[in-house]
Amino acid sequence: MMPSTEKDLPRHLTGIGDIAGFYEGYILDLWGVVHNGIAPFEDTIPTLLEMKRSKRTVWFLSNAPRRAAVVAAFLEGMGILPQMYDGIMTSGEATFQALQDEYLEKWGRKCLHIGKAEDTVLCDGLDIEFVDTPEAADFLLCTGVAHFDDTADMYHDVLRAAALRRLPFLCANPDRIVHVGEKLVLCPGTLADIYIEMEGKVTWFGKPYRQVYGHCLAAMPHMRILAIGDAMPTDIEGATGAGIDSALVIGGIHRDDLAKEASGAVRQNQFYDFFSGFPYRPTFTLEKLTW
């Protein structure tokens, strides 16, 4: 194992307050950074209030396969109120806009939905007919798995049938897995990867794809911006591609790779080994979102 040095690693912050004087704008991931799918993390609301008190612009950018207004209502139910942030953009919002502006005209209107039944609300207001089989569909829309306990092999037959018909697959969330509380749950990105292995064509919306950053960046012109997320392949790769600095919350999706119990040289080498597996790195690391 190659020994690590401080210059090989992102700077570790005790909290946003360490660098708050430099960045005027922040793009925050939601799941794994702001909340765990059930409730906000302990420091979330005090941190958001301090960011607003410091006159920082805060946007949430989420790979949630839901419209921005739906996510806002969900957050409000957790106590994260609209006055605590400036805006929300989601992969679901980007998916809706693309279906409305382009893909329904291009692909057709018969949709086979993969995900929770209630997630079809994403398409409210669109002229879409939901069908039950690949044979009846013009395209697939994946917003997740139908049940949190579902495994990938449960979807192989329907994906294979769709791939044989060369149906377009629209992935409304590029995440592969997510923690719901302490439980790991499959996300649409995992099923999209399987579809690609079957030689199917996937259209992606959300991080790390640059187009989803447009709304946030347009709302923060001429600002120095920091993106904060917990996933290297989406949050950190996406920020890197968008040309902005980033901070990785190491207590999120990568918590098992960056065990908090390690310390000193052991943890430094652990960090070095972890970041060596990626062609990009965050500017900073944080244990959690805190001021």
CATH number at residue 112: 3.40.50.1000
Using the 3D structure, point to which of 180, 204, 228 is the last residue of a domain.
204
Residue-level pLDDT at 7: 56
153 in Cβ contact with 159 (< 8 Å)? no
- Say if residue 194 is in the same domain as residue 281: no
Total number of domains constituting the chain: 2
Residue 81 located in a structural domain: no
Token pair recorded at residue 83: 């006055």
List all residues 6 or more positions away from 12 whose beta carbon is below 8 Å from its beta carbon: 284, 285, 286
- Say if residue 195 is in the same domain as residue 212: no
**Segments forming the whole domain that contains residue 268:** 6-63+208-286
Host H or E run for residue 239: helix 237-242
| Cα radius of gyration (the chain) | 19
169 in Cβ contact with 198 (< 8 Å)? no
| Among 89, 81, 86, 78, CA closest to 41 | 78
20 in Cβ contact with 13 (< 8 Å)? no
- Say if residue 49 is in the same domain as residue 131: no
Residue 85 located in a structural domain: no
- Say if residue 104 is in the same domain as residue 191: yes
199 in Cβ contact with 214 (< 8 Å)? no
CA 160 to chain centre: 26
- Say if residue 100 is in the same domain as residue 18: no
Residue 70 located in a structural domain: no
Using the 3D structure, point to which of 204, 227, 253 is the last residue of a domain.
204
pTM for this prediction: 0.88
Residue-wise pLDDT for 227-236, tens only, equals 999 999 999 9
Residue 190 located in a structural domain: yes
Residue 100 located in a structural domain: yes
- Say if residue 21 is in the same domain as residue 109: no
For residues 200 and 211, give the distance between their C-alpha atoms in angstroms, rounded to a whole number. Answer: 22
What residues of the chain score a pLDDT lower than 70? Answer: 1-7, 182, 259-264, 266
What's the maximum distance between 2 C-alpha atoms anywhere in the chain? 58
- Phi, psi at residue 160, to the nearest 5°? -65, -45
Residue-level pLDDT at 3: 37
